[in-house]
Structure 1
Amino acid sequence: MLTLTHRYRIYPNATQQQILVEWMEICRGAFNYALREIKDWCDSRKCLIDRCSLEKEYILPPDLKFPNEIQQLNNLPRAKKEFPKLGKVPSQVLQQVIKQLHRGWEYFLHRGFGFPRFKKYGHFKSLLFPQFKENPVTNLHIKLPKIGAIPINLHRPIPTGFVVKQVRILRKADIWYVSISLQCDVSIPDRTPHGHAIGVDVGLEKFLATSDGVLVKPPKFFKQLLA
């Protein structure tokens, strides 16, 4: 499988820009809400065994399970009933927000530092559309769910044989971009070693030495210029 990513400039109109910005803020709220659940669960496990702090942590049941990715994804339909604004964003885009949070969480567990941080206003600047039933890109537009066609500057044509895997909308200042992930189902054979392989070592007394016994003296360009 060969994967490529192309970035293009897009030109949403005022209404489309307003929708995209609103979606980003809704996704930011969903990200922070899910992160708050994780943080509260972690903080509730830090208190002493015989007492809990009433000022710093919530008192959560000891048998409460960690809010993992599957649990938070399954809670999205119920959350949409409680927070109707979530229904404005495509379901798959919201799901990617939760998945993004847990990728950061797993990275934190692997490294031991870098706990995921809450997103401030305006700091959530991308939306990921993970799949499409048909190619959303034409020579002039890209078609997104619940938004419609957005003009695109397709300065680089999509290669033949590649299909659109996913689309990420990016906002940088007042400029909008789209990163399109393309995939082609081809097998790339490994390169077969050929020729005569040698080892090269760089040192101080000798500029370099090869496994074939070739020794090269230091060139000493500076001393040659002074002479």
Structure 2
Amino acid sequence: MLNSKKLFPEYADIYSQVLQDCVARVKKTFDRWLKGDCNGHKSGKPRLKGVGRYRSFTFPQMKQDCIQGKFINLPKIGLVKLIEHRPLPDGFKIKTATITRLTDGM
């Protein structure tokens, strides 16, 4: 198995689970193109994303005390502004966090 952090030293600052999730998303896209979905319908050929075209990434595990007011504490990134659409009910646990770059650049 190739280690992407050794092949690309600039990836050393990226959290390993985020890299694994990105690879899984690309694999799922190509699988849907080649094999199709459960009904056999194939999607179109995937477009490869340039440096500035990847709009989101996912942290598959989050600590339970990661939200601090209007910010979320992300591993290897630090505090990031949080847009919370509705408050979390008592007893709920945060399992994943998807970070999305909006069209207005935020």
- TM (normalized to structure 1)? 0.40
State the Cα distance separating 1:153 from its structure 2 match: 4.3
Once superposed, what is the RMSD of the aligned Cα atoms?
1.9
Task: Kindly indicate whether the alpha-carbon contact (under 8 Å) linking 1:135 and 1:163 is maintained by their aligned counterparts in 2.
Answer: no
Determine if the alignment matches structure 1 residue 149 to structure 2 residue 79: yes
The 3-state SS of whatever aligns with 1:124 is: coil
Within 5 A, what are the aligned runs for 1:35-50? none
> In the aligned structure 1, how far is the partner of 2:69 from the partner of 2:88?
10
Q: 1:153 to 1:170 in 2, by over 3 A?
A: closer
CA distance in 2, matches of 1:112, 1:155: 34
Residue from 60, 85, 95 that aligns with 2:10:
85
Contact 1:136–1:142 under 8 Å retained in 2: yes
Letter in 1 for 2:56: S
**1:100 is matched with which residue: 21, 25, 48?**
25
Q: Where in structure 1 do 4 or more consecutive aligned residues deviate above 6 Å? A: none
Q: Please report how far the alpha carbon of residue 144 of structure 1 lies from its aligned counterpart in structure 2 after TM superposition.
A: 0.3
Q: Provide structure 1 residue ranges, at least 5 long, that are not aligned to the other structure.
A: 1-73, 177-227
Read off the aligned partner of 1:166 and give its amino acid letter.
T
Q: State yes or no: 1:138 paired with 2:68.
A: yes
Q: What whole-Å deviation, never above 9, does each CA across 1:93-124 have from its counterpart, x for those lacking one?
A: 11111100111122221133422221134211
State the distance in 2 between where 1:169 and 1:86 align: 17
C-alpha distance in structure 2 between counterparts of 1:163 and 1:80, whole Å: 31
Gaps of 5+ in 2: none
Mark the CA change 1:114 to 1:154 in structure 2 (over 3 Å): closer, same or farther. closer
Deviations 1:182-208 (A, max 9, x none): xxxxxxxxxxxxxxxxxxxxxxxxxxx
Q: Which amino acid aligns with 1:143?
A: N
The answer to whether the Cα contact below 8 Å between 1:135 and 1:164 also exists between their aligned partners in 2 is no
Percent identity of the aligned residues?
A: 35
Distance 1:155 1:126, change over 3 A: closer
From the CA coordinates, give the structure whose radius of gyration is larger: 1
User: Does the C-alpha gap of structure 1 residues 141 and 113 become closer, same or farther in structure 2, counting only changes over 3 Å?
Assistant: closer
Distance 2:23 2:49 in 1: 13
Measure how far apart 1:88 and its partner are. 1.4
The residue identity in structure 1 corresponding to 2:20 is Q
Q: How many residues align?
A: 101
Q: Which residue of 95, 99, 102 maps to 1:165?
A: 95
One-letter code aligned to 1:158: L
* Equivalences for residues 31-70 of structure 1 within 5 A: none
Q: Say which structure is richer in strand.
A: 1
